[in-house]
Amino acid sequence: MKKMLAILMALLMAALLLPAYAEEGDVAEIAETAGTVLEIGEESILLETPEGQLIEAILTADTIREGKEIAVGDFVHVMYNGQMTRSYPAQVTAQHIGCYVLTGTVSDITDEGFTLTTDETTYIVHATAEQLAQITDGAEINVYFSGVIAMSLPGQISAEQITAVEEEAVLTGTVVEAYITMETADGQQIQVNLTSLTQLPDGIPDLGDTVRVTYNGQMTSSIPAQVTADTVDIAVTIDELAGEIVEITGDGILLQTKDMQVLVNVDEGTVYETDGELAVGDYIHVLYDGIMTRSLPAQVYAQKIGCYKTTGTVSELTESGFLLTTETDVVQVNADAALLDGMKPALLRRRRSRTRSARTPVLSPSCSPTTKSAPSSLSRRSARSAMKRAFCFTPTRCRPRATWPST
């Protein structure tokens, strides 16, 4: 009888506890999604799955983060409790988020994958035909994977996303919103995401500060566009350079100023004010953020580059300069006596029929390159290239600083 009672009590306890265990099992359900990061918010990340679905992963204080610091363009894995809203975009609450990536050099491409050599070791990467079409031997790439590495020699992974290693890009602009949104010289607003890896040598910038932002070259197509900053520098001043173009490369312009050569780096944020394509020999003015490297040559990042040209014939030497006759006007080119010293009327007459181009720097809306006098007048700075019959002029706010070109 006692044994029967004990068995009945045990069955009763099991019946009472079983629903509780079942509920706990339901709550513990884990689901996973993965995709490319499109936007990073203060408390969420918007990602796009390989199938094209948009999912907003809500981040909480309990969300576990693993792998590299997440940036726009990264491929991430998100674990959640299985509950996803039917909103657009769909939403999940992330319990765990991971970003696993290896960066290295490609070699030994086969039909099934390739070898990736990183700074530390070598991996065999299994990839699809579509992914293999993106790469070539010797290419520097990022390989995103699930975080699982086979315990073989060498280790093996399966590629989920492959991207090229982007060169560092630079943006310059003014902070228009805290934490932080900046506006570039051409009026584009860009949200700059800061991470624990972002270097802030001058601290968090304030509203109105001019900043220079370096990032990995990846920018979203959202409104506003977003980048993840590697470095944010606060520029104290806006400085100007002027000189003659010595060389034009894919990344910038080598400029010969009065004192030295400067490599002027350009990017998508650089504003051009010119009458046409820049060419070697053009005299230009460059506005930059006041930061110049101590390298050889020194380097700056251009906010604005200006080069204006007027073409005409030197028709007369005057007390303050000379007259330049264009197709539509006669322009008085003002020049200091020292700049015109040695120029003889006979020389001017012999070359009167030869047409030369005049180069001018960027002009602000409040400054006019010529006066309303008859004839029109250029500033004294225009005589810098008088020996070449290439005449540069600047707004009246700019102090003349022309010199004879070396011959």
Least confident of 4-8, 91-95, 133-137, 357-361: 357-361
- Angle subtended at Cα 56 by Cα 53 and Cα 61, rounded to the nearest 5 degrees: 150
> What percentage of the chain reaches a pLDDT higher than 90?
35
Q: Answer with the residue of higher pLDDT: 66 or 320.
A: 66
Q: Are 263 and 170 in contact, with CB atoms under 8 Å apart?
A: no
Closest CA to 242 of 219, 215, 220, 260: 260
pLDDT at 9: 61
Mean pLDDT of 130-148: 90
pLDDT at 47: 93
Mean pLDDT of 105-134: 92
pLDDT at 15: 55
Closest CA to 351 of 376, 323, 315, 318: 315
Structure tokens at 232: 């944010």
Q: Are 124 and 108 in contact, with CB atoms under 8 Å apart?
A: no
pLDDT digits (tens, 9 = 90+) for 329-355: 888 888 777 666 655 543 444 444 343
β strands within 266-320, DSSP E: 271-274, 283-288, 298-317
Highest mean pLDDT among 94-98, 212-216, 332-336: 94-98
Q: Are 381 and 396 in contact, with CB atoms under 8 Å apart?
A: no
pLDDT digits (tens, 9 = 90+) for 360-407: 333 333 233 445 455 555 444 433 333 333 344 443 333 333 333 333
Residues with Cβ < 8 Å from 29, sequence gap 6 or more? Answer: 81, 82
pLDDT band at 291 (very low <50, low <70, confident <90, very high): confident
pLDDT at 124: 95
> Is a pLDDT exceeding 80 seen at residue 172?
yes
Task: Give one DSSP letter per residue of 348-394, joined into a string.
Answer: HHHTTT--EEEEE----TT--SS-SSSSEEE-GGGGGGGGGT-----
The DSSP bridge partners found for residue 215 are 169, 229
Closest CA to 132 of 158, 103, 101, 111: 111
> What percentage of the chain reaches a pLDDT higher than 70?
75
pLDDT digits (tens, 9 = 90+) for 226-251: 888 888 988 756 788 999 999 998 87
Helix residue ranges, H only, 271-330: none
* Rounded-to-integer distance, Cα 242 and Cα 258, Å: 8
Mean pLDDT of 11-34: 60
Highest mean pLDDT among 80-84, 181-185, 222-226, 306-310: 80-84
pTM above 0.75, yes or no: no
pLDDT at 11: 58
Structure tokens at 372: 């309303």
The DSSP bridge partners found for residue 239 are 288
The distance between the two most distant Cα atoms of the chain, rounded to a whole number of Å, is 137
Return mean pLDDT, the chain.
78
> Is a pLDDT exceeding 70 seen at residue 276?
yes
* Look-up of token digits 């509780």: 20
pLDDT at 254: 95
Mean pLDDT of 120-146: 91
Q: Answer with the residue of higher pLDDT: 102 or 234.
A: 102
Estimate to the nearest angstrom the gap between the alpha carbon of 4 and the chain centroid: 79
Q: Answer with the residue of higher pLDDT: 372 or 122.
A: 122
> Is a pLDDT exceeding 50 seen at residue 142?
yes
Mean pLDDT of 194-219: 85
pLDDT at 339: 65
